Amino acid sequence: MSDEIKKILIVEDDESMCKSLMDGLSKFNYKVMKAGDGEKAVTMIIDNKPDLILLDMILPKLDGFKVLERIRHYPDEKISQTKVIILSNLWSDKDILRAQALKIDEYFVKANTSLETVFTRVAQII
């Protein structure tokens, strides 16, 4: 089971950020997928059951909080228990506490976090 390639879904509407994340993570032998909006993310999570989600909070169609609420209340435990790292420009205590209440594994503020830090944390969680 540990030899199985882990699946990561990047939910990010900023193309350059998404490309940087995909390029970096693909070097670690993960299967990396992407969704550019919240609705597509929920569909991809249900269809692909990723091992970890890198989730932006400010997204078109469905924001990151609604994505989290939908997956956390999903009847399939493989989906409702999915590991989630938030990578967002929302940095207020209120936003961070709201996300933590939805059982996230890590919350990074984009402006204060290097990609290397994100990749290291992904490896620790996955």
Report domain extents, the chain: 7-125
Tell the residue number behind the tokens 């420009």, with chain if given: 89
- Asked if 5 contacts 30 with a C-beta cutoff of 8 angstroms, the reply is yes
Instruction: Give the chain's length.
Output: 126
As assigned by CATH, the class of the 7-125 domain is: alpha beta
What would the pLDDT profile of 43-55 be if each residue is shown by its tens digit? 999 999 999 999 9
- What pLDDT does residue 2 have? 54
pTM score of the predicted model: 0.95
Q: Answer whether 8's CB lies under 8 Å from 87's CB.
A: no
Average pLDDT (82-90) is 97
CA distances from 6 to 25, 28, 88 (A): 11, 10, 23
Looking at the predicted structure, is the pLDDT value of residue 10 above 50?
A: yes
Res. 6 pLDDT band, cuts 50 70 90:
very high
